[in-house]
Structure 1
């Protein structure tokens, strides 16, 4: 499928409309690529030049039921998975652009201005975002 870029609030609105504001969705997978590595001579390249997080979301609706989102050049990933005593259903999500970065959170009540209050939420701050349907 074709990649869609998030550059404006209109792009955010499109994703939120296509994926129903993430209502009745869940995070299926998370994958992080730092850009750092050790080469064949065991020399460290310790620069996190990529900092990409790929998240696969699924929901209880079709068209699409599954999307892949790549958060590029992240500055923060706050992963707060719930344990097996509770469900992990995302009822609605937050997404906005602030100071040139894009924020996504697993609750519409997320407040960019008071981030310290959201350790119990999963949220990501990235320089750019791309997404696609992977049904």
Structure 2
């Protein structure tokens, strides 16, 4: 499963065509991390760079490909808006943009970069964007980790 870097508008168009514009897909899982950590001696280490990264797994109801993973590096904004109880979680079409050196992904084609909070949807922006096909990752199984001791919740 090789990572592919998105560099420009042509790459965006090719990727969106490849994954059908996210039509009939869902955000299955996501995982976020930074380079910050506390060492064993309790000293803290921080990066002065944009060090937040997010991996997102999407699945869709179409063969070839059925699942892809996006990797956002140098995240500048991360807005997750879960659906209400009476709403489905289907993505009918997503938006992917490149503007002033940043990539923007939003779970709706209606989303506007100049009014990012106009609609209650999830969106993310980052300095770098990579993707890979992971069609073997279909189904309910968690790929980014399983909660331990679920029975204690």
- For normalisation by structure 2, the TM-score amounts to 0.83
CA pair 29-40 structure 1, distance change in 2 beyond 3 A: same
> Which segments of structure 1 move beyond 4 Å, counting only runs of 4 or more?
none
Q: Which runs of 5+ in 2 are unaligned?
A: 136-153
State the Cα RMSD in Å: 1.3
Q: Which has the higher strand share?
A: 1
Kindly indicate whether the alpha-carbon contact (under 8 Å) linking 1:55 and 1:69 is maintained by their aligned counterparts in 2.
yes
- In 2, the alpha carbon distance for the partners of 1:105 and 1:82 equals 14
- The count of residues paired between Structure 1 and Structure 2 equals 134
Partner of 1:42: 42
- In 1, the alpha carbon distance for the partners of 2:48 and 2:38 equals 12
- For normalisation by structure 1, the TM-score amounts to 0.94
Q: Which runs of 5+ in 1 are unaligned?
A: none
Kindly indicate whether the alpha-carbon contact (under 8 Å) linking 1:36 and 1:48 is maintained by their aligned counterparts in 2.
no
Kindly indicate whether the alpha-carbon contact (under 8 Å) linking 1:34 and 1:48 is maintained by their aligned counterparts in 2.
no
The C-alpha deviation readout for 1:7-55, integer Å capped at 9, x for no partner, is 1011111110010000000000010011110101011124374210000
